[in-house]
Amino acid sequence: MQDATQLLLNGLSTGAVYGLFALGYTLVFSVLGVINFAHGAVFTLGAYFTYLLIGGAVGANGLLAGLQLPFALPFWLALPVAGLASAAVALVIERIAFRPLRERGADSLLALITSLGAGVVLVNLIQLLVGAESYAIPTGSLGGLPTAIQLLGAQVRTVQLLLLVVAAVLLVLLSLWIDGSRSGKALQAVAEDATTAQLLGIPSGRMIQIAFGLSGFLAGIAGGLVGLSVSIAGPYFGIGYGLKGLGVLVLGGLGSVPGAVLGGLIIGLAEACVPADLSGYRDVVAYGILFVVLLLRPQGLLGHVLPNKV
Amino acid sequence: MSARPLVIAAVGVLSALLAGCARQASDGLVIGGAVALTGNAGLLGQDARTGLDIAQQFYGQQQPRLKLVIEDTGSDEASATQAFRRLINQQVVAILGPSLSQQGFAVMPMADRAGIPVVGISTTAPGIPEIGRFVARVASPVTVIAPRSLAKALERNPRIKRVAVFFAQDDVFCSSESSIFQKAIRAKGLELVSLQRTSVSDTDFHTPINNVLRSRPDLVVISALVSDGGNLVRQLRELGYSGPIVSGNGMNTPNIYPVCQKHCDGLLITQAYNPALNNRSNTTLLQQFRRGRDAEAVPPQVTAQAFTAYQVVHEALAKVEAGLPAGSSLSQLPPERLRQQLLSTLLDGRYQTPLGEIRFTPEGEVIQKDFSVARVRMNPDGRSGRFMLLP
């Protein structure tokens, strides 16, 4: 029982990160039909923003060596502010890497490449400014909370539980907004058919910006939380999560919000179930599941088959 | 829009790039530094770069004057291949690097085929010098290094019986280091109670850590790189492990401090570098390293090894130059002959370096006498610390 609880908690907390990551991909994909490859870089930025906002100083290897903000926010405040800053960056990416191509009616494959380019530029810019060294959000950032707690007989780090809770809250809020608000329904309409939505008076461009902003916000929050959990291992640390998030996105079903979360949890749980002596092969299990699911259900677990438009 | 301006701009950019390449290749004797400045091993590479830069500042003022060109090998074999190709194309006289043994096995044969001496800085896996005639290294092999920290842990606590091992299975150095650790564990009659394979790209170690904690080890031994290893140590401590931890050479840098923070405290790591060594090279290294840093700052081992790699090549070239007829210089020698002479002189010499006195076997393996084991001591701020050498 204790082992099962431990596995479940480990899997859920890992899956929550993947799910949060994939949600960002999903939002953009649902409105544009394109995967935003710069999402991993925004995630990375979120971690760096959080680090700087809590009063962290830049190390010795970047152009901004020694830089420290004149104030230090508590982690609880720094995290949403970092999310907002990441959202702003995501909006800039939309403006320079997606909108010009969209306005010219370019093939969506080109937006894929420009987003990849934007991601590479961002990561290298981070390295240029703050160096390649690791940065850590101090372990005591959660105030008086203990570093680990016993839950149903299992030992779990507090930050992992926090990740799980934040991911769940964000998912619920996002679902409520999408299904229960006018703007959320407008987003769904744009996702269905942007041109028709525009004709019906829905500002498609604005809705796409909202999708990018939300996507960036989620990435920033996820980056800050992961940074707290495992430190910021240099400008490239978002790449691994980006690849896994991409797999989760496809597994859950392209463009499906609940699918992104379900996919994240499945991959997280599957990885946690890998036997100890094979733990180095976790990725094989994750992508193996993806492979099998796609063979049986190419649209993903909760995705829909898109009809060919004539 | 007409395509002509775009074509003109493209031609202009290409011409500028080619001109830049040509200029780089035409400047005298060039020594190449190939270190990982990006990716998982970026922290290790930055330490090496510091050592190379300090050596260049010092030896750059002495004959023969060398120009140092540093290429980023990234942390994977493909990027390292590109970096080595660029250095080989620049006709460098020797290459110092790469950072990882995994990369070494991929790229050192390239330098060997090109007849360019290559001196590994931190490539400690077995089999590196055997790659080829032109391959040497200043990093002592892991077979020499690894067992010492294990022995020190047992010396400090003879009651240790049960040992758990973590290693990054996707890195050839970590795998080979771990197999040496495991062999030493068995040789000392200890029980290997848990063996966990991880990946250098892993960040979440809950599952393997919980497996290890269930096996109730008296000692944990880790073979990993800075980022993954630092995270592993942090999570291991946060989840309740309070026993001793021995870590391998991949975590042998102060760059682990920001990763495992206060939890780095107590790590045992074998050191090939003793900052207290009193010789000219080490004094130079310490003085240059402390400029702009704390007066007590100590260079990481990799920084000392990088400095040493540059030093041995420079001293060997100086000997070659001293043997030339009056009025001639190294750059007048045919490149193949120069590199042959550099190699044979390099392998014949004895060097007083920051690592102590070193020399090479005919195969290019370094022979170093002095080692010690350090215990990481973190300061109360949890962000800075020291490698305290144990008696």
Q: How far apart are CA B340 and CA A251, in angstroms?
A: 57
From the CB of residue B86, how many other CB atoms can be counted at a distance below 10 Å? 17
Identify the pLDDT of residue B27.
44
Query: What is the Cα gyration radius of chain A?
Result: 19
Among the residue ranges A144-148, B155-159, B237-241, the one predicted with the least confidence is A144-148
Q: How far apart are CA A81 and CA A75, in angstroms?
A: 10
Residue of B nearest to A158 (CA): B238
Q: How far apart are CA A84 and CA A89, in angstroms?
A: 9
C-alpha to C-alpha distances, B133 to A128, A163, A249, B110, B347, nearest whole angstrom: 38, 53, 50, 12, 11
Give the model confidence (pLDDT) of A292-307 as tens digits.
988 998 888 888 765 5
Give which of B80, B51, B43, B33 is closest to B200, Cα–Cα: B43
- Min Cα distance A283 → chain B (Å) is 10
Contact flag A138-B238 (C-beta cutoff 8 Å): no
Determine what percent of chain B is predicted with pLDDT higher than 90. Answer: 60
B21 pLDDT band (50/70/90 cuts)?
A: very low
Give the model confidence (pLDDT) of A36-65 as tens digits.
999 999 999 999 999 999 998 887 777 898
Q: Which domains does chain B have, with CATH numbers?
A: 29-139+282-291+298-360 (3.40.50.2300), 143-271+372-389 (3.40.50.2300)
Beta bridge partners of residue B374, listed in sequence order: B269, B389
Q: Which residues of A touch B382 (CB under 8 A)?
A: 138-139
Q: Residue for token digits 């690894």?
A: B146
Among the residue ranges A155-159, A265-269, B154-158, the one predicted with the least confidence is A155-159
Give the model confidence (pLDDT) of B305-316 as tens digits.
999 999 999 999
Tokens of B122: 């931190």
Please give the backbone phi and psi of residue A111, each rounded to the nearest 5 degrees, phi first: -65, -30
Please give the backbone phi and psi of residue A36, each rounded to the nearest 5 degrees, phi first: -90, 100
Please give the backbone phi and psi of residue B147, each rounded to the nearest 5 degrees, phi first: -65, -20
Going from N- to C-terminal start, the domains of chain A cover 2-296
Contact flag A148-B194 (C-beta cutoff 8 Å): no
Give the model confidence (pLDDT) of A151-204 as tens digits.
877 778 888 888 889 888 988 898 888 888 898 889 888 888 888 888 888 888
Alpha helices per DSSP H over chain A: 2-32, 39-53, 75-93, 99-103, 108-130, 158-180, 182-192, 194-199, 204-230, 237-252, 257-273, 282-296
Best mutation target among B206, B237, B262 (most A Cβ atoms within 10 Å) is B206
Q: Which residues of B touch A14 (CB under 8 A)?
A: 204, 206
B24 pLDDT band (50/70/90 cuts)?
A: very low
In eight-state DSSP terms, residue A135 is B
Q: Which residues of A touch B38 (CB under 8 A)?
A: 127, 132, 234-236
Tokens of B246: 């021995």
Q: How far apart are CA B169 and CA B179, in angstroms?
A: 11
Chain B contact present for A280, CB below 8 A: yes
Identify the pLDDT of residue B266.
93
Chain A contact present for B234, CB below 8 A: yes
Q: How far apart are CA B300 and CA A267, in angstroms?
A: 39
Give the model confidence (pLDDT) of B344-376 as tens digits.
999 999 999 999 999 999 999 999 988 889 999
Q: How far apart are CA A68 and CA A52, in angstroms?
A: 7
- Min Cα distance B204 → chain A (Å) is 7
User: In terms of C-beta density within 10 A (0-12 exposed, 13-18 middle, 19 or more buried), how is residue B362 classed?
Assistant: exposed
Does the pTM surpass 0.90? The reply is: no
For the A2-296 domain, the top CATH level (class) is mainly alpha
Q: Is the pLDDT of residue B46 over 90?
A: no
Give the model confidence (pLDDT) of B263-279 as tens digits.
999 999 998 898 888 99
Question: In the predicted model, what is the mean pLDDT of residues B301-329?
Answer: 93
Best mutation target among A231, A243, A274, A277 (most B Cβ atoms within 10 Å) is A231
Chain A contact present for B203, CB below 8 A: yes
